[in-house]
Amino acid sequence: MEPSVAVVILNWNGKKWLEQFLPSVVASNYPNLQVIIGDNASTDNSVLFVNNHFPTVKVITNDKNYGFAGGYNHVLAQVNADYFVLLNSDVEVPKDWIKPVIDLMQSDNNIAVAQPLIKSQKSKTHFEYAGAAGGFLDLYAYPFCRGRIFDEVEQDLNQYSTDIEIFWASGAAFFIKSKAWLEIGGLDADLFAHMEEIDLCWRLKNLGYMVVCCAKSEVYHVGGGTLDANNPYKTYLNFRNNLIIMQKNLPKNDAYFRIFIRFWIDLAAWFQFLLKGKTDLTLAISKAHYHFIKDFTKTANKRTNTQLPFLQHHGVYKYSIVYSYFVKKIKKFSQLPW
């Protein structure tokens, strides 16, 4: 019998996405599957729509909007399955997207997390920004993807058609063994949204687990379905959370050095936004740094005694992706010097 799988879509006022993409999820042909909507106190009749049109889909409602991280923690505490799949509401899936990933994860007990190839729903010949063909971190913990560096998204020409170990899997289509989820304690709710999946993967990697990308499966993500790329709140969360996960997961001496460098890289981004007249984004970066420093002690208390040396992890690019992209003009993952 195939392992049991629960595909859980966290929803907050995403009725239009559920109308468009939930039918494809329900039509998935995996034999031991349950589809669940976790609702973060929506006010757009999302729950009523699901109950009326998809009676086989279970709905678990939260009493308020706990964000991506807290929302999933509350919902998955009420779900029983061998595997959890955290799936964005703005993702279209083909019928056979689940089994290849589960087969890969079943092949090795050390694999805790996986993702399929994530391609653009609007242009299915191209990868999608949020996860592409697997997530990596650079020397200073700056995230990028195989198939996407900054805003440069590649066309899928089968150049990334192999299953590989990566650093982080995208929260847009995030497969995790339930026992690993329980062992690590789920997502960090204080992050609210953005980079919480990187933090989870990093914590698991510090325990010796693996994160992989399964190239035999693909899904199609709209992207930006919740917050637009130029949204100041999204900018704030990304800059703040990136510093938080570095403080939590890097060895102590290493953390101070890399965070110091990241402050200077963030300052360069601050000036770039200022020169472009995007003062709301410069303010978002300043606010992110302020709250990171303000909560420094709180974050320090979340550290464990299992921070492995950063450069030993699979999925770490041992150079600066900012320098490689903007100075050396390297636009494709396959061109990076490894």
Q: Are strands 173-177 and 111-120 parallel, antiparallel or unpaired?
A: antiparallel
Beta bridge partners of 166: 211
- Residue spans of the domains in the chain: they are 232-311
Residues 6 or more apart whose CB falls under 8 angstroms from that of 336 comprise 317, 319, 321, 324, 330
256/14 Cα distance (integer angstroms):
40
Q: Phi and psi at residue 237, in whole multiples of 5°?
A: -65, -45
**pLDDT value, residue 283:** 97
Q: Cβ–Cβ contacts within 10 Å for residue 86, how many?
A: 27
pLDDT for residue 224: 59
Tell me what pLDDT residue 303 has.
94
pLDDT truncated to tens, each residue of the chain (338 aa)? 899 999 999 999 999 999 999 999 999 999 999 999 999 999 999 999 999 999 999 999 999 999 999 999 999 999 999 999 999 999 999 999 999 999 999 999 999 999 999 999 999 999 999 999 999 999 999 999 999 999 899 999 999 999 999 999 999 999 999 999 999 999 999 998 889 999 999 999 999 999 999 999 999 999 854 455 678 999 999 999 999 999 999 999 899 999 999 999 999 999 999 999 999 999 999 999 999 999 999 999 999 988 999 999 999 999 999 999 999 999 999 999 98
| Tally of CA atoms within 13 A in the half-sphere of 103 that contains its CB | 11
Nearest 5°: CA angle at 312, between 105 and 316? Answer: 75
